[in-house]
Structure 1
């Protein structure tokens, strides 16, 4: 089995060269101002965490809203104090050509290794090695899904699940909208999803709207999702533990055991969801499609997009990432398909000034080993995101040694704890690390490291990447 991250059970050498400085681009000043604000905000996150954790809470808009999200591991603890200090715009730019060639010539990186390091404030490429070589990115791909979602949906967007009137007076239609984070009664998967909507809440709203009269039949309409439940390239066996067959409605992400991240998943999670809903109402179940213009009976909403991104970036949840990516495709392209998702992601990167030659997106999670990204594309998308409404992605990145999928990393590179913040990625023969770090002198960099086909094993490659990013942060060069 190939998992797309490394927080839980795991299932030809490049020649380094210094890359030229990136040419000036319109909007660079805007990105610089925006990223300066982002980096200052990261320092604020620590203060808020020390006060007891950050809570996502958004004001209600025209429609009734549900969901509050308090991620238990999203932010570092009170100690040590230096975690995520704000960047110093006057700090010297490091001479990475003096340190990275030797670091990247690590025997543990004996496959294809791509690297890109850029100055976060100016966008200048400080060093690259095979930076434009497309490689399988594993879960670093989730950064792209997050940026695209923020760009097109916005942080406050919520995924709806709606019940409309059925073909008869004693029936209703449960219209799936793409929310895979529903719970039965609010007590769901690790409480990662429990702050969104519940089927009990929806059933209560249906009964209230019908004057206490329970419907005899609930029809399930899943017509919003019109594609293969398995993204191209994803291994069939990965639909058991690493993700679920995609459907536009699920309870607890389709997990049979909502206390485990890599629990066994249902083969038909949408049917499980409607059976749970019908049981609450005491109704029978049938398949059907809502009539055009059918009157709405009740609607519930997921937690805000900002909370969903926090969750899937921190915990590297494949299913949730793909659900959000498909929701983005639905809003932008009008269809919830893998091809529409790819179109949106490529167009989003292009709009941010990212070179997309050779990039391939079969899913949003990176679980497909046939996805392709480049290290330069990752650093470019982070630089582009800094000047857009996708800047929130920086706050979601795990902190080395403290949170998310980096909680148990950097033991062999302890000096990197708290100064590296990045998205991890792991598949069989694939490792990646993409994010931001602060140098010893206080300069903020964005970086990406991707390794494919190393024979030394994922743990050895991950340790090498931890040590490389730490050495850059601590080099004083």
Structure 2
């Protein structure tokens, strides 16, 4: 029967004719539905087979372009992929690290002072320690302290505000800096890979809307929230142009002159550069320093990415400026002032709150860039053990994964068994040399999760040699069936 046999309702008639009698209207409709269903099903099969045939032909053509025949892979089915971030097993046995770590830590590449601490994540039991209470410069492992404090006191959803309020005259507004260094001109910039910055363009549009479309003549910049030096103790002025920026409570693209480069040179006065960018977008002709009047009406506000994204950014990429900005933001929330001293107070109190021993600890910044910071491997593991059962547990999600992400994406080449199993924050100081650290967590071959910290100071074997030694040590522990 052809598709057109009963396609047209007008073809149905009660007039007698040669051949079978015409179907009743309801029977005809049912028959037409069955016919259409059969045709569409047939077409679907044809299309599916054709698509599948095309896919097979493409694979075959690549495998054997001359004949078009399919060449199966040498090994089928393929081997199971290596585990990545395998879950821990509470029933797994505790590893006997006392039997393996002394020899591993006697590696000649680790010829300086080495502070080491390994603890069971589930029970907190110390599995091994060596000079664990010796205060050493931690380098960028300090960023883990900053993230833990921020998550504990601010929360993962906290966002840094940047506000505009009415100015002292009708033709002025005040840009009130809130501590956000991740602002961008249009929502695109260096930070968008991990933490998209708030847009100055959006802020300007909101201000113009609030003012009925009238642009102010003057933008006053209020930076009174930050009342300290532009550099932390131990951080040189030269490093403010390379490894970080002069600290200020408002910046565009982290104060970088080139927002596509992590280590771009920085503006000498990033806050004023940000204010000028905002004034240009707003259509204002003058920018001056000033302070918002108490009770001034708010015209607009924009917010940074949430703290969870900011922590991901400064831990994964080891961004010094952003880590310091977050540390100062935490200080503002807890101590009421955005100063390096207040930051130190908050970090020490946070560690004590997690039962970490504060003896000998010194915090000058939140990034670890200052060589005058002091931390111990034991304090790191105690802090992470406490964080695991608190609001700060989000820090574990931010840690780089060996061989896969962040500053560990190109590590563990000589210890590939640790890839996807070790998750940790790296630390390196080039000035002075001889400062390397690795702090985080790993899962043993039996499924036991271990929290660890390794800090080396004063070694003379070179950065890459010490990093490789630490990669191999943590990998050996992760593969240990001891």
TM-score of the two chains, using structure 2 as the length reference: 0.82
Q: Alpha-carbon deviations, 1:222-241, whole Å to 9, x = none?
A: 00000001000112221111
2:88 counterpart of 1:83:
no
Q: CA deviation at 1:294?
A: 0.8
CA contact (8 A) 2:175 2:219 kept: yes
Q: Which residue of 2 aligns with 1:145?
A: 146
Q: Distance in 2 between matches of 1:175 and 1:129?
A: 49
CA displacement 1:162-188 (0-9 Å, x = unmatched): 000001000000000000000001111
Partner of residue 106, structure 2 = 105
How far, CA to CA, are the matches of 2:97 and 2:144 in structure 1? 24
Corresponding residue for 2:294? Answer: 292
Within 5 Å, give how 1:52-71 maps onto structure 2.
Answer: none
CA distance in 2, matches of 1:252, 1:396: 21
Match of 1:452 among 454, 457, 461: 457
Secondary structure of the 1:328 match is helix
> Are 1:193 and 1:252, in contact at CA under 8 Å, matched by a contact in 2?
no
**In 1, Cα distance between the equivalents of 2:192 and 2:292?**
31
Q: Deviations over 1:438-470 (max 9, x none)?
A: 001111000000000100111110000000000
Q: Distance in 1 between matches of 2:468 and 2:455?
A: 13
Change (3 A) 1:193 1:415: closer
Q: Which residue of 1 aligns with 2:120?
A: 119
1:318 pairs with 307, 317, 320, which one?
320
- Structure 1, unpaired ranges of 5+: 1-78
User: Structure 1 length as normaliser, TM-score?
Assistant: 0.83
**Which residue in the other structure is 1:438 paired with?**
443
CA shift at 1:81, angstroms? 5.3
**1:234-292 residue CA offsets vs partner (Å, 9 max, x unmatched):** 12221111100100000011111111111111111001100100111121111111111
Distance in 2 separating the partners of 1:238 and 1:124: 40
Alignment correspondent of 1:22: none
Distance 1:190 1:197, change over 3 A: closer
| Bigger RCO of structures 1 and 2 (CA < 8 A, at least 6 apart) | 1
Matched with 1:463 is 468
- The equivalent residue for 1:333 is 335
Query: Which residue of structure 2 lines up, in the alignment, with residue 368 of structure 1?
Result: 370
Q: Please report the RMSD computed on the Cα atoms of aligned residues, expressed in angstroms.
A: 1.0
Deviations along 1:53-84, whole A, 9 cap, x unmatched?
xxxxxxxxxxxxxxxxxxxxxxxxxx945101
Verify the 8 A CA contact 1:190 1:260 in the aligned structure 2. Answer: no
Q: Alpha-carbon deviations, 1:197-246, whole Å to 9, x = none?
A: 11101000000000100111000000000000100011222111110010
The residue aligned with 1:348 is 350
Q: How far has the Cα of 1:190 moved from its partner? A: 5.2
**Structure showing greater Rg:** 2
Is residue 140–residue 368 contact of structure 2 (8 Å, CA) maintained in 1? Answer: yes
Q: SS at the partner of 1:467? A: helix
Task: Tell me which residue corresponds to 2:67.
Answer: none
Give the corresponding residue for 2:166: 165
Which residue in the other structure is 1:253 paired with? 254
Q: 2:195·2:310 contact (CA, 8 Å) conserved in 1?
A: no
Tell me which of 410, 424, 427 is aligned to 2:429: 427
The equivalent of 1:235 in structure 2 is 236
8 Å CA contact 2:115–2:134 kept in 1: the answer is yes
Q: Distance in 2 between matches of 1:224 and 1:216?
A: 24
Question: Which secondary structure does the structure 2 equivalent of 1:259 belong to?
Answer: coil
Q: CA deviation at 1:378?
A: 0.4
- Alignment gaps of 5+ in structure 2: 1-79
Secondary structure of 1:381's counterpart equals helix
Mapped partners of 1:448, 1:161: distance in 2: 37
Matching residue of 1:31: none
8 Å CA contact 2:360–2:374 kept in 1: the answer is yes
Is the Cα contact below 8 Å between 2:194 and 2:309 reproduced in 1? Answer: no
CA contact (8 A) 1:175 1:222 kept: yes
Once the two structures are superposed, residues 395-447 of structure 1 have per-residue CA deviations (whole angstroms, 9 ceiling, x without a partner) of: 10000000000000000111100000000000022000000000011110000
How many residue pairs match? The answer is 399
